[in-house]
A = this chain, B = another copy of it.
Amino acid sequence: MTPLSSRKQQILRALVEEYIHNATPVASETLVRKYELPFSSATVRHELAGLEEADLINQPHTSAGRVPTDLGYRYFVEHLMQESALSLDEQRLIRHMFYQVQDQLDQWVRLTASVMARLLHSAAVMTPPRSAEGRVKHFEILSVTDLSAHLVLVLTDGTVREQRLLLETSTLQDELSSISARLNPRFSGLGVDEINGILLSYDPSPTERVIANAIIRILEQQSDVFFSEDIVNILDHPAAAASGLRLANEDERAERIRKVMEDLEHKRLQQVMDEIEQKRILPVLASHLPSTDGVQVIIGGENRWDEMKDVSLVLARYGQKGKVGGLLGVIGPTRMQYGRAIAVVRYMAQVMNELLADVYGCE
């Protein structure tokens, strides 16, 4: 692509920002007025024609304003946008919330997703921390009733998982403890394959077999995706419409359109979340990510996945390479506030990294 003139850049940037803000096709005149561009609307129109040629923007219909295309957003994200960092207050608030649940691991994912969703008024996704291949470090078995017990397993990567055991014969805590004492040294440091090997090489008791199977099952478990959505209050405000305030006419109109747009976007979002939940998209995401280490932006499915039309993803990995970690990010309309979204996702990934470092790896 031939590089854009600085004036074209300036105009494109203003246009994208305006559209993200207002969800209304942007007119040349508006750009000049609101962004105090040092040339006339006709000139802007000329440049807009050029940008349209380059497929960076679009006209919904002749004689309407312009709207960025996916490519336009891409250019914006890569060259024009600037990240808007979180305010210190926000950072403090987040830190504080995580401080409160620092000892409840299962809350981390929920909280992270919830924070992202709320800060960005959109939906967030996150996979819980996992490492690729797990190995047993230590486990304990707690008796619950005569015939059931609870297995807790610490992996070498530091993650803890648990599972209910249904025993075949009535077994008390003492016996479970002794089994645990017997098996722990045997399984320590091993992965799925080795444990399977051990099971073949000797004849375990029924209870031991139940335990071993549970361990294998835990090690093989896939990580699932967690969602959080900020439920925006999109309900119409008939009060506002009824009170015939026609003063702010232009603004009101824009407001109205914005409401409708956000409504549509909201529905679209739910569709996509649904599809992601059906696991149709997740594997693609995972395979797309490794390319770089920072925050990745996928705009409108980037012409590759129709399912993601009109929807953008801002994703990041967290955790160290090869160790325990996962994916986290935000799903929003293509017209999301990329600057802020990227900043938030980056920050949350960093927070997760620190939390993980605190609790898991101490090297």
User: 6 pairs across A/B with beta carbons < 8 Å?
Assistant: A104-B163, A144-B359, A146-B362, A152-B152, A166-B358, A235-B267
One digit per residue, 1 when the CB lies within 8 angstroms of any chain B CB and 0 when it does not, for chain A 157-173 equals: 01010111110000001
Q: A162-B152, A271-B235 are in contact. Are A360 and B105 (CB under 8 A)?
A: no
In chain A between 226 and 260, which residues have their CB closer than 8 angstroms to a CB of chain B? 231, 233-235
B150, B154, B164, B234: the one within 8 Å of A143 (CB)? B154
Tell whether, in the assembled complex, residue B139 and residue A158 are in contact, meaning their CB atoms are under 8 Å apart.
no
The answer, yes or no, to whether A10 is at the interface (CB within 8 Å) is no
**Shortest CB distance A292–B (Å):** 29
Tell whether, in the assembled complex, residue B234 and residue A267 are in contact, meaning their CB atoms are under 8 Å apart.
yes
In chain A between 118 and 168, which residues have their CB closer than 8 angstroms to a CB of chain B? 138-140, 142-148, 150, 152, 154, 158, 160, 162-166
Q: Which residues of A come within 8 Å of B, CB atoms?
A: 102-106, 138-140, 142-148, 150, 152, 154, 158, 160, 162-166, 173, 214, 231, 233-235, 267-268, 270-271, 273-274, 358-362
Task: Give the CA-CA distance A310 to B362 in the complex, in Å.
Answer: 54
Task: Give the CA-CA distance A331 to B150 in the complex, in Å.
Answer: 33
Neighbouring B residues of A235 by C-beta, 8 Å: 267-268, 271
B145, B147, B267, B359: the one within 8 Å of A164 (CB)? B359
Residue of B nearest to A170 (CB): B362
Tell whether, in the assembled complex, residue A103 and residue B138 are in contact, meaning their CB atoms are under 8 Å apart.
no
Tell whether, in the assembled complex, residue B163 and residue A142 are in contact, meaning their CB atoms are under 8 Å apart.
no
Tell whether, in the assembled complex, residue A233 and residue B271 are in contact, meaning their CB atoms are under 8 Å apart.
yes
Neighbouring B residues of A359 by C-beta, 8 Å: 144-145, 148, 164, 166
Neighbouring B residues of A271 by C-beta, 8 Å: 231, 233, 235
